Amino acid sequence: MNTPLHVSTGSLVMNGIYKSFANVPALTDVEFTVNSGEIHALLGANGAGKSTLMKILSGAYTSDQGHIVINGEQVKIDSPAAAKQAGIQCVYQEVDTSLIPQLSVAENILLSHLTSSQGSPILHWKSIYQQAEAILQKLGFAISARQQVSELSLAEKQLVLIARIMAEQAKFVIFDEPTAPLSMEEAERLFTIMEGLKAQGIGVIFISHRLPEIFRVCDKITVMRDGKKVSTVATAETNANEVVHSMLGRAFAEKYPKTFVTIGDPLLTVSDLAAGRYVQGVDLEVRRGEVVAVVGLVGAGKTELSKLLFGADQPERGTIQLSGRNLHSKTPYHALTSGIVLVPEERRKEGILVKESVLHNLSLPILKKITRMGIVSKTAEKQHGDQLIKSLGIKTSSDQQLTGYLSGGNQQKVAIGKWMQTDAELFILDEPTKGVDIGAKRDIFKVIGELAGQGKGILYLTCEFEEAIGLADRILVMCDGKIMKSFNYGEASQEDLLYYASAGREELV
Amino acid sequence: MNHKIAQFSYRYGALIFIGLVLLFFSIYNQHFFTYNNISDILRSISIVTFVAIGITISLTVDGFDLSAGSTVSLTTVVVAAMMVWHQMPLILVLIVPLIIGALVGLLNSFLIVKIRIPDLLATLAVMYIVSGIHRTYTKGYSIYNNMQFQDGTKAPGVMLDSFLWIGQGKLLGVPFPVILMLVAVIGMHLFFKYTRGGRQMIMTGSNEEAARLSGLRVNRVRTLAYVASGVFAAVGGILFAARVGSGQIDAGSSMQMDALAAVFVGYSVFGAGRPNVIGTFFGAVLMGVLVNGMTMLHVQYYTTDIIKGAVLVLALAVTFVHRKRQKV
């Protein structure tokens, strides 16, 4: 690596930060310090205020009170531009919103240079590509600077984003759950990058829900709870249980509250289901009361499979049977009426309507039940909504709150909760814990256990192998659109799953 | 405190603005705030309001309907032709245009929902088609009582009195079109607030994919919205013919834009930030009041468009500045 660009004694201090939304306090007297050349984890259950704090740091929000000091100098961050000026950069969860797909990799990397009003008004394409290639080479990314971003995979797009950060000479970089959509290999590569940034004297703030990776890469851990800072400790001086304890404020008794119920008759029988490149002949069975996990890396075809089963996409061949009846669901409506529901992976785009209230989101699939002569019964709707908010522990200021303002875990509870009072028999959950904190995760696992207890079938699609091992009665490993292997509860280790998920290609850890 | 003022002005700004405009005209002209003039204003906006309600419905499902104006033109001349050329009974005269409106809506939704042409482009094409049909049908002539054909013969029929009453009559001193308009506004408001159909349209417009994956039949909902839009435009066409007493050619072309303006001004009423029927109504009222008041002040009619445009900009600015602030 090159010699550090910055003095490694610099620091970023946030002091006495207050922020409230519509008089509901989101942050109360938060203090947060990151030093140059360290990787600092920011942890907390959903709704703890991590994202709000980071949005204040990146200029998306302005704090009500408090100040930010960088390298001893107080800075005013009142816009994303000001944050960049101060050397603060972000890598957000949703890569697609920060890249321009129609432009080349080089243009995306040097976007702020290209759009700045300073410098020459004429673009020197040769030097743009040269600069971009130099950055890519320095970071060791095998992406062509001339390729169009829309042709890249999600993981590659993330690399482009990191290259952009380097091009913009950041001093502090925020990684907001960057590993959520990555496979283990890709996440590994990201950690190398983070360590590279650290070696360059850059302070890295890392938000993640995966504790193991935090303990691997981070130097310090700051935990937040209910809008307040709980603790900052060096990673070497703590352990996962302690961290979980301070996140939840109580011991995390059992990580995976697996319940064992009697498994009944076959509910869903799928044979030779195929569509396009991602689903190439899938056979599987889910019985009543059974939790079946389908695990696989990103791009294995899990999401595509879930959409076929839910009638959101149409299969090219194969049959789907529910309780022995052949299904040909032309639309999700038909799947719902036959008893299949889906909690989709893209929560904010597909799972919930962010611009609508919690109440209206929850009642959407059961509108017909609470309608008399075309009129929706407000009392029945409110009763249904409030009961779900209570039983699922959805944290919201009221049932009228717009769902988009809830934290990730609570949004997911809405996305699952809306199906609870339908007559669904098969619940398909696609990455239900993606971007969800441990507290809400445990609530979701509990709900899955309850549903299984009621004799429903659960198809749980995930790339988190640990969850599958902890929860599922049976694990199916999917790779390149096919089911490669089946394991019963207690049979598989993470290494086994990884081996089959990568079709034997990946080195055993 | 600042936050509260901002909230208040966002929510009630549009209504306060209408109040101020009323006050201004009332002070400057003693004939403005009289029962006759106010009922004149309401009658003048009743037709546009029907078209605007239709457009509000299409916008509610996150669509767009550019063809509403040409549907008004077509139904107006069809209504007149049915009476003047063919001497048909009143009941047919009322039903046929509604069917035509529904068919235009079906054509729109076929292009948008099935063929997946973007709504703006599809309804633009349909606007041309429908407008062409109405000119071809009338050979470019307006239709009036016992009109003379080119071959020298006269049309056999006249506009029925009972039909003209729809546009010109009064009930308890209130112009009948105003009553129809109020019924439609209140009815559609209740539809969106209390019925399943209304809720389904709102949810579809809010996020079609999420609504579809929640088990909503979004294609059906969108189709119904375009059909409703066509039917409301057809009612506008009927009212226009009844008001004017003839089948004017190109009656609806100016109405399309006036209706759209009313709908978008309506976004800012009560801080809705989205298409809503009550807002649409107040938008139409504001536009009507402005035109009426300025005419009384002897502002030339071609100048009023500048004011209308400026008011639209103001309303849109309020809506979108706020939307940017509270991004979900």
How does pLDDT run across A384-401, given as a tens digit for each residue?
Answer: 999 999 999 999 989 999
Write the residue in A332, A356, A376 that is nearest to B196 by C-beta: A376
Kindly state whether residue A362 falls inside one of the protein's structural domains.
no
Q: Is the CB of B194 less than 8 angstroms away from the CB of A351?
A: no
Please check whether residue B44 is in contact with residue B240, taking contact to mean a CB–CB distance below 8 angstroms.
no
pLDDT of the residue at A184: 65
Task: Kindly report, residue by residue over B81-112, the tens digit of the pLDDT.
Answer: 999 999 899 999 999 999 999 999 999 999 99
Q: Which domain holds residue A123?
A: 99-168
pLDDT of the residue at A195: 83
Q: Is the domain of A226 the same as that of A324?
A: no
Q: Is the domain of A148 the same as that of A36?
A: no
Max CA separation in chain B (angstroms): 75
pLDDT of the residue at B65: 94
For residue A149, pLDDT over 80 is answered with yes
Task: Kindly report, residue by residue over A60-108, the tens digit of the pLDDT.
Answer: 888 899 999 998 889 988 888 888 888 898 876 556 667 888 889 998 8
pLDDT of the residue at A402: 92
Percent of chain A with pLDDT over 70: 90
Q: Is the CB of A310 less than 8 angstroms away from the CB of B194?
A: no
pLDDT of the residue at B147: 85
Q: Is the domain of A139 the same as that of A271?
A: no
Q: Is the CB of B207 less than 8 angstroms away from the CB of A312?
A: no
- Average pLDDT over every residue of A255-262: 71
Q: Is the CB of B217 less than 8 angstroms away from the CB of A336?
A: no
Give the minimum alpha-carbon distance from B159 to chain A in angstroms, rounded to a whole number.
38
Kindly state whether residue A14 falls inside one of the protein's structural domains.
yes
Query: Contacts of residue A331 in chain B, CB cutoff 8 Å?
Result: 212, 217, 219
CA dihedral A73, A74, A80, A84 (to 10 degrees): 0
In angstroms, rounded to a whole number, what is the distance separating the alpha carbons of residues B151 and A485? 85
Q: Is the CB of B200 less than 8 angstroms away from the CB of A353?
A: no
Interface test mutation site (partner B, options A308, A331, A359, max chain B beta carbons within 10 A): A331
- Average pLDDT over every residue of A409-414: 93
Q: Which residues of B, range 204-233, sit inside 8 Å of A by Cβ?
A: 206-207, 209-217, 219
Q: Is the CB of B196 less than 8 angstroms away from the CB of A368?
A: yes
Tell me the pLDDT band of A2, cut-offs 50, 70 and 90. Answer: very low
Tell me the pLDDT band of A509, cut-offs 50, 70 and 90. Answer: very low
Instruction: Name the nearest CA neighbour of A109 among A60, A151, A57, A144.
Output: A144
In angstroms, rounded to a whole number, what is the distance separating the alpha carbons of residues B233 and B105? 10
Domain boundary (A142, A168, A194) is at A168
ipTM summary value: 0.85
Interface contacts A/B by beta carbons within 8 Å: 72
Q: Is the domain of A14 the same as that of A56?
A: yes
For residue A3, pLDDT over 60 is answered with no
Q: Which residues lie below 8 Å from residue B161, measured CB to CB, with a gap of 6+?
A: none
pLDDT of the residue at A7: 43
Q: Is the domain of A173 the same as that of A126?
A: no
Interface test mutation site (partner A, options B214, B220, B221, B267, max chain A beta carbons within 10 A): B214
Q: Is the CB of B328 less than 8 angstroms away from the CB of A404?
A: yes
Tell me the pLDDT band of A339, cut-offs 50, 70 and 90. Answer: very high
For residue B216, pLDDT over 90 is answered with yes
Q: Is the CB of B206 less than 8 angstroms away from the CB of A356?
A: yes
- Of the listed ranges A79-83, A241-245, A359-363, the one predicted with least confidence: A241-245
Q: Is the CB of A336 less than 8 angstroms away from the CB of B215?
A: yes
Chain A residues bordering chain B (beta-carbon distance below 8 Å): 310, 312, 331-333, 335-337, 341-342, 344, 349-356, 360, 364-365, 367-368, 371, 374-376, 378, 402, 404-405, 418, 422
Kindly state whether residue A59 falls inside one of the protein's structural domains.
yes
What are the backbone angles phi and psi of residue B108, rounded to the nearest 5°?
Answer: -55, -50
Tell me the pLDDT band of B137, cut-offs 50, 70 and 90. Answer: very high
Q: Is the domain of A63 the same as that of A182?
A: yes
Task: Kindly report, residue by residue over A438-453, the tens digit of the pLDDT.
Answer: 788 888 998 999 999 9
Query: Contacts of residue B217 in chain A, CB cutoff 8 Å?
Result: 331, 333
> Cα Rg for chain A, rounded, in angstroms?
24
Higher pLDDT, B146 or B115: B115
Max CA separation in chain A (angstroms): 74
Task: Kindly report, residue by residue over B267-313, the tens digit of the pLDDT.
Answer: 988 888 889 999 999 999 999 999 999 988 888 888 888 988 998 89
pLDDT of the residue at A498: 80
Instruction: Name the nearest CA neighbour of A208 among A177, A229, A239.
Output: A177
Give the minimum alpha-carbon distance from B64 to chain A in angstroms, rounded to a whole number.
20
Mean pLDDT for all residues in chain B = 92
Tally of helices (H runs) and strands (E runs) in chain A: 17, 22
Domain boundary (A151, A168, A185) is at A168
Write the residue in A310, A355, A376 that is nearest to B199 by C-beta: A376
Tally of helices (H runs) and strands (E runs) in chain B: 13, 2
Kindly state whether residue A8 falls inside one of the protein's structural domains.
yes
Kindly state whether residue A407 falls inside one of the protein's structural domains.
no
Q: Is the CB of A364 less than 8 angstroms away from the CB of B211?
A: yes
Domain ranges within chain B, ordered by starting residue: 2-325
Number of domains in chain A: 3
Tell me the pLDDT band of A253, cut-offs 50, 70 and 90. Answer: very low
pLDDT of the residue at A5: 42
- Average pLDDT over every residue of A412-423: 93
Q: Does B58 touch chain A (CB under 8 A)?
A: no
- Residue A41: CATH number of its domain: 3.40.50.300
Helix (H) or strand (E) holding A135: helix A125-139
Q: Is the CB of B207 less than 8 angstroms away from the CB of A332?
A: no
| pTM for the predicted model, two decimal places | 0.72
Instruction: Name the nearest CA neighbour of B178 among B56, B49, B289, B33.
Output: B49
- Of the listed ranges A28-37, A199-208, B194-203, B221-230, the one predicted with least confidence: A199-208
Q: Is the domain of A202 the same as that of A144?
A: no
- DSSP letter string, A268-287: EEEEEEEETTTEEEEEEEEE
Domain boundary (A168, A184, A211) is at A168
Q: Is the CB of A332 less than 8 angstroms away from the CB of B214?
A: yes
Q: Is the domain of A74 the same as that of A137?
A: no
Print burial letters for A431-446: b (CB count within 10 Å at least 16), e (below 16): bbbbbbbbbbbbbbbe
For residue A154, pLDDT over 80 is answered with no
Q: Is the CB of A310 less than 8 angstroms away from the CB of B213?
A: yes
In angstroms, rounded to a whole number, what is the distance separating the alpha carbons of residues B290 and A388? 49
Give the minimum alpha-carbon distance from A150 to chain B in angstroms, rounded to a whole number.
21
Q: Could you tell me the CA-to-CA distances from A474 to A153, A191, A262, A296 in Å, in that order?
A: 30, 32, 14, 14
Smallest CA–CA distance from B210 into chain A, residue = A350
Q: Is the CB of A376 less than 8 angstroms away from the CB of B194?
A: yes
Kindly state whether residue A404 falls inside one of the protein's structural domains.
no
What is the CATH class of B2-325? mainly alpha
Q: Is the domain of A119 the same as that of A16?
A: no
- Of the listed ranges A186-200, A440-454, A475-489, B18-32, the one predicted with least confidence: A186-200
